[in-house]
Structure 1
Amino acid sequence: MGKRDDLIARYADDLKNKCGMTPDMDLLTKVTIGCGPAIYNADAATVASSQADELETVKNNFLIKKLGLSDSPDLMVAIKSVLETYGMSERNKYRAVVYYMLTKHFKKESIYG
């Protein structure tokens, strides 16, 4: 297995054990690929949930630009809800896992179709 496959397995494990979800492996793989080289950079691979500017980046670059959602207070509510599910005390919140859960939350799986 390659490095990306190892990371996808780690993300699937987080979804199962930390978020209580059974991952759709096909979608998880596509979301992970969509994150690009960021998944290999220790800082970029995670979401700093305590930093407001990081949450704005998730909102603007992923929810609005990638998923095509309109800006509204609902977007930040969804981000915070996903982070709660992941566990606020969880130190490493992987970007691919957060994006996967947001994609599911907004039922935008077709973006990765």
Structure 2
Amino acid sequence: MSNYLENVKKYVDSPNEAAVEALVGHLGLALQSRDSAVVAATDPEELARIKSGYCSKTLDLTPEEADKAMDAVCAKMQGDTAKCRVTFYYLLAEASNSMDRLAA
């Protein structure tokens, strides 16, 4: 988990460690493969899956809220070619003020 926490710290000074741990547990199998452990932010199909899955079901965001949060996260992580899925999802929760849904 420490590698994921360190990656989140590239974007957040004092991340919620319980939220990072919850995300690692939630993503489980997806983190075992290099391909699925990163987000292809330039792939509209992947962003649509994140929007309809994680944003809608876990964070309980409307499509408009999800779009706004994803735009903010993509802009924040634009210099990172391999966007860690845990970090991307953490930043989505942060950008949408939904952190309480992760660490609950």
Which residue identity lines up with residue 77 of structure 1 in the other structure? K
Q: How far apart, CA to CA, are the structure 2 residues paired with 1:16 and 1:67?
A: 21
TM-score when scaled to structure 1?
Answer: 0.80
Question: How many aligned residue pairs are there?
Answer: 103
8 Å contact 2:8–2:90 — kept in the other structure? no
Which residue identity lines up with residue 45 of structure 1 in the other structure? A
Would you identify which runs of 4 or more consecutive aligned residues in structure 1 move more than 6 Å? none
Instruction: Give the 5 Å matches for 1:33-48.
Output: 33-48=25-40
Aligned: 1:21 with 2:6? no
CA RMSD of aligned residues (A): 1.6
Q: How far apart, CA to CA, are the structure 2 residues paired with 1:36 and 1:22?
A: 23
What percentage of residue pairs aligned between the two structures are identical? 21
Aligned: 1:79 with 2:51? no
Higher alpha-carbon Rg: 1
Q: How far apart, CA to CA, are the structure 2 residues paired with 1:84 and 1:21?
A: 18
Q: Deviations over 1:22-65 (max 9, x none)?
A: 21111110111111210111111110011111111111111012
The residue aligned with 2:41 is: 49
The residue aligned with 1:3 is: none
TM-score when scaled to structure 2?
Answer: 0.86
> What are structure 1's unaligned runs of at least 5 residues?
1-7
Which residue identity lines up with residue 60 of structure 1 in the other structure? S
Aligned: 1:9 with 2:2? yes
1:89 CA displacement:
3.0
